[in-house]
Structure 1
């Protein structure tokens, strides 16, 4: 009669789509934490509705911050629990900055930084890497793009290194991933950018479908065109059974980028 369940989003997605899930009684579940990677809004909603985890929380942090810096609370309203990573934990500080280090106003997108007792002393025998991550005032630069609201709730919009610039337009993969999650046939999605001689970068969406579902590339593209700006519609789709992952269940976007570039080069060479 377990009451709490912990895991990264990939684990919860696999559990939701497990072919024998309906044979198990999950009614005793109540709470838990989803963390370790970006938590898709639709997955959070399904965990709450279908796995009875009405008090599930999202935690955000890094190994370098011991690890949690922000977290939602069981008493937070549903919208905040599914769309944000919560507020800064006690005795820690958070801020959102622009490219030159200026603290931004609430509601503006920038890099999330955190400071406090939980921040590591440094990388072992690597002062250069430490100085690149922790500034002179002790702020840990996370590399995540975020926005903080007036109540201190933080929403992660993506990784700064993952942001796609296509024809001068900034495109956040997280936004597109959340969008494709709303398609009833899509179980999981990852969006990346690859080099393009004309636009600088092009969008590639890796799609994993729910068991038993079928969906064509052009069908999905037309569905997207009717709902989002044309420049955000991926040029390429890859339908896969799984994503490249670390042993802890985190998606390796760098490897997906390499595979996509290699595959596209092969297609153009034929």
Structure 2
């Protein structure tokens, strides 16, 4: 018999979730919750129910879709209202972060409302994803870049106009940018708080990559662990001016590796078998993290 999770008191639900986190087959589970306009509630007839969230009584319908998955549909004056109520409930009562925040073009006003609320309440967001389609407006994407931070990863697959530029930094441990013509050398040099940076879309030039490595060698990127940067340039041309670390060129994997001296005891490594594939890939081992 299934457990009616949504009917449990807050304390009991928290205890249950804490327990399930230690049970291997229940460690990760997804319950899709959809936010609908209140005016559409009338179309669901006898399947309508009410869900109490704090002091609110929310109309709700559970429907088994064609794919066999049960989906919970909740009804609000606006979709943003619904998302905010659920975010606050899980944050305040269960101390749970937002695992992934996805942005799409529909409900443009809701994007700014929700982002502003997240910042105001200091809600933790682990991952942020901006999809390629449907396409956001450039100014909405810039608003997201300036106002959203991710504990783990910020990903963007969005295609932007050629004249789009961003003069700030992205707040996340890991950055993945596709269609990233706008992510220039200056954006790279401002990424001093990131651990991993992956950019495809532009092709970084030899002089740009050399400039980046000079800044790394000076100690500008103390947290950086890895970069994957689109380029047509050979890694040998990029690293030509760096000093080798012969003591770090041996490894147990059987793969050839070249190591280069950074700031202090820091060093970076390149695997030649990864070169020539349209990317400059380098891993970093910084002295403060060794």
TM-score by length of 2: 0.23
More strand by share: 1
TM-score by length of 1: 0.24
Larger Rg: 1 or 2?
Answer: 2
